[in-house]
Structure 1
C-alpha cells in the first residue's frame, strides 16, 4: 500500500526529542541473507519509499502501514514502528528526553509493556541502565512496565542516537497461526517464501518437496497461489496500541484475488515419516489448502513427476547432519535424490537448502549457491539449477 511522502525524517537535532508521529518510518526486519527478497515484496505490495537498510527494509508510514505489513508480507520477520529518535550523550539526558515523549499517543494505560535496549558505539553503553531510564519514563506517563509483557518497546542507541520503536508484530511473523504440527529442524515460513521467490515461483508453477517434513515449503507455495494472506490466522501486538484495535482481523485473501476452483492439485509433499505426512495434512487442512496440496509417504528413490503436470519447481530442505556420523550417512540420501531427479525430472528447476557444500555436490546435479542465509544460527545456501 502507499502512504504518500514522508513529512518528517527519522533524524535528530540535539535540542529535543523528535516524535516520528503518524507518518514516519516503519522498519521491516528481514531474515539475514533475504533482505533483497523482502525489499522486492515490499515494493510489489506498494509500500512507499521502500529501501534497503542494514537488517531489513524501511518504508514510509505509521501505524496503518505497520498493520498492513504484518497482514500481507510473507518474507518479513517482524515489523517495527519507529516512533521517535533523539540524541542522548548520558543517562540523565536519556531520562529527560524519554520523559518528553508522548507515550500516551501510542501506548494504552491498560496494556503493560516491556522495554528492551541495545547500545552500540555510544557514550551510553550499559543496556540495562538504558532500559531502566526508558522504563521509568513510560511508568511516569501512567503505563505499566512488566518483564513478561507481550508488547515490546525497543530502544537502539547507536552513535549516541536513541531510536524508539514499537514491535507491532508480537510473535515472529513466521508463526502464521495455522501450522500446529512442526517437524524436526523445520524451515521457517518466512525463509520458505524467500527461497520460493529466489526460485522464480509466481504461484502458477507446480511445486514438489521430496522431503517435506511438516510441509512448510508446499504450504507456503499453495497459500501464495491461492492468494491467502499470511496474517489471517493469528493475532498481533498492534491490537494493543492506541488505534490498533480498530482494524479488525486480517482478511483471508489478497484484494482482487479471483479464486480458480479448477486449478487442481499442484503442490506435492513426500516424506518417509508417516507422522510427518499426517502432520502436514493436518496443517494443510487448517491453512485451507487441502484442495490443492497432496502429501504422501514415500522414499526419495520412489519419487516420480506428478502426472499431467508441466515441469515446475522442486524445492527441499533435507537434513544437513549436525554430527559427523550423520553427515556420512546423508551422502547416500543426497546421492539418491540427485539420481532420481536426473532420471525423471528433466526440465524442472531444483533448489536444495543446505549448509553443506559437500552434500549439495553429492547430488551430482549442476547447482549454483545463493546465500548465505541465517537459519537459527546456521548459515545455509540455496543450491539451485535446472535439471538437464
Structure 2
C-alpha cells in the first residue's frame, strides 16, 4: 500500500483557499489546492484526524489506485488485479459511484458495473446501495482514479443539530465563511438573523476547541485499515473552553428559530457561553465585552420570497450596525450585490463566488465600523 497516502478534502468551490489554511494550521501537509478541494499527504492517522477535526471539509477521500484505461475490458482487468483487501473488508457491503468525462469509456453506468463485478469476484464483498463504504471511480481523459470515501455522511452533519429553519447554511460553509471573515476563535461573534444558530454555534465550538466530528461515526471505521486505539491516540487534545469572558450571541425575529438555536447550542455543549434573544434586527445589540465580528446569512429573495421587500430589511440591518456596533466588523453572505449595497455599509471587494445549494453567493465584509 502506497505511503504516504494521497488524501483529498472536498469543499465548496470558492472556499478551497480557506480550507487549505485550516488544514495547514491543524498541522496537515497540504500539497495542492484545486477547484473543489485540497490535496494532502499523510497516513491513516491523518485521514482519521481530518474527518474528526477539520470544520470546513465536506468529505475526505483516499486514493487507492490510478491507471489509464481506454475500454471496459481494460478497466475490468486492472480492477481485478488491485489489492482490494488492503483497504476494504469482505464482510462490509460496498457501494460504487462512477463518473466519466472526456474519455473513451463514456458510459459511467457500465464502468460502475465493472468495478462492482471486480469487487465481488476478488474481495467477495456484497454490493449494496445503502452500504457504509463507498468506492468512487472517476474517469477523465482516459485516466481512471479509484478512491474510497472515508467520511460516509457529509461532514456538515455533525450529529448534534436536530432542528433547522428555512434555507439553512451548512455547518462546513459557515465555518469557512467565519474563517474568511477573519475569525480566529478569540473574539465574540454575533448574528442578528441567526435562524437555527449555525454561525453562532460554529464560532463557539471553535473557540472552545470542540471537535466537529466528536458526536458522529465515519465510513473509515468500516475499513480494513481502521485501528480504534491508534485513532483515539490521533485525536487532538481538547481545550477546557473558550477564552474567559468570550460570548457568542444570536437573535432572530422568529421565536421558533430562537428556540431551535437554544436547543442546538445545548446539544453542542456551548449553551453556557451562547445567548439567543427574540427581537427584530432593528433591536440588535452586541454582547458584553470587546468588539468582534457580526456575521449574517439573510434571505436572498431567490431562497425565500421575492427580492423587493428585502431592500428595507438590508437597509435596517446596515443602519443598526452603524448605530449599535461601533468597532465591530460586519460580514454578510448574500447572492445579490444590490441587496448588499442597500445596507449602506463600507463594504470591501466581495469574496469569491461560492455554490450554496445551487445558489451563487459571496461574502461581503467591512473593516471595523
The answer to whether the superposition gives a TM-score over 0.5 is: yes
Map 1:271-310 onto structure 2 (within 5 A).
271-307=252-288, 309-310=289-290
Map 1:223-372 onto structure 2 (within 5 A).
223-244=205-226, 246-247=228-229, 254-255=236-237, 257-259=239-241, 263-264=244-245, 266-307=247-288, 309-322=289-302, 326-368=306-348, 369-372=350-353
Equivalent residue, structure 2, for 1:191 = 173
Indicate how the Cα distance of structure 1 residues 248 and 165 shifts in structure 2: closer, same or farther if over 3 A, else same: same
Q: Structure 1 stretch 57-66 or stretch 235-244: which is displaced more?
A: 57-66
Q: Structure 1 stretch 141-150 or stretch 350-359: which is displaced more?
A: 141-150
Map 1:46-61 onto structure 2 (within 5 A).
46-61=27-42
Question: RMSD over aligned Cα, in angstroms?
Answer: 1.9
What SS does structure 2 have at the residue aligned with 1:169?
Answer: coil
Conservation of the 8 A alpha-carbon contact between 2:103 and 2:140:
yes
Distance 1:276 1:325 in 2: 18
Q: Structure 1 stretch 142-151 or stretch 77-86: which is displaced more?
A: 142-151
> Which residue, 154, 170, 175 being the options, matches 2:136?
154
Distance 1:277 1:299 in 2: 12
Indicate how the Cα distance of structure 1 residues 222 and 99 shifts in structure 2: closer, same or farther if over 3 A, else same: same
1:250 Cα shift?
6.4
Distance 1:265 1:255 in 2: 21
Indicate how the Cα distance of structure 1 residues 314 and 234 shifts in structure 2: closer, same or farther if over 3 A, else same: same
* Higher RCO, Cα 8 Å, sep 6+: 2
Indicate how the Cα distance of structure 1 residues 315 and 325 shifts in structure 2: closer, same or farther if over 3 A, else same: closer
What SS does structure 1 have at the residue aligned with 2:353?
Answer: strand
What SS does structure 2 have at the residue aligned with 1:371?
Answer: coil
1:319-341 C-alpha deviation (Å, 9 max, x unpaired): 11127962111111111101111
Conservation of the 8 A alpha-carbon contact between 1:227 and 1:254:
no
Unaligned runs of 5+ in 1: 1-19
Q: Structure 1 stretch 80-89 or stretch 318-327: which is displaced more?
A: 318-327
Equivalent residue, structure 1, for 2:120 = 139
What SS does structure 1 have at the residue aligned with 2:351?
Answer: strand
Equivalent residue, structure 2, for 1:27 = 8
Conservation of the 8 A alpha-carbon contact between 2:187 and 2:246:
no
Conservation of the 8 A alpha-carbon contact between 2:23 and 2:30:
no
- TM-score, normalisation: structure 2: 0.95
Conservation of the 8 A alpha-carbon contact between 1:264 and 1:291:
no
Q: How many residues are matched? A: 367
Distance 2:338 2:36 in 1: 29
1:336-357 C-alpha deviation (Å, 9 max, x unpaired): 1011111121211000100011
What SS does structure 2 have at the residue aligned with 1:370?
Answer: coil
1:139-191 C-alpha deviation (Å, 9 max, x unpaired): 10211111222311001111111111000000111111111111110111111
- TM-score, normalisation: structure 1: 0.90
